[in-house]
Structure 1
């Protein structure tokens, strides 16, 4: 919409009396109409090219957004897995500590029995 307004304003400015006369009129054109027509055609081509660029940029932005969402999901999954591994590690360490305490107690009982001559 803004581009259309800009084109309209430019056309109105170019159609004003004396707008394209004199030094501004390119020598390779035979008339003001030819110059204005080719300028308008060039602007239309540029607008079409801008539309293509805008479409490409939106596609790229969509792909980047999708990739970011995928990476965020992977990070959450990996964080959850890391939490599970840490919990399992703490639980295993607690079990090992309990087993070591029990083994130490049994060794102490065995040593006490040996000292008392029961074995």
Structure 2
């Protein structure tokens, strides 16, 4: 029998947010601290949440995300932009720079600002 390829995390970690009067929030923070809980900042770098994008260019990740948001395959995007599907694949994988003219064609179809892709 095959084993699962991903192992579950050793310990599950959860976060919670609360809204209410400032004095009650301070009281809640004191109680949470006595329970051994720690306070975290409100933001986390996106690359920490998506380690599969480590080492990828920002524009490559943006292109793949925008294409996914529009529900397009690489083949469909190629048909709409006139850019070969193999080039779109290379751009999404960070192997080929997009360039200004291609960025403008892609951005028009993907309904985003072309500068995100540069």
- Structure with larger Rg: 1
Give the TM-score normalised by the residue count of structure 1: 0.21
Q: Which has the higher contact order (CA 8 A, sep 6+)?
A: 2
TM-score (norm 2): 0.21
* Higher helix proportion (structure 1 or 2): 1
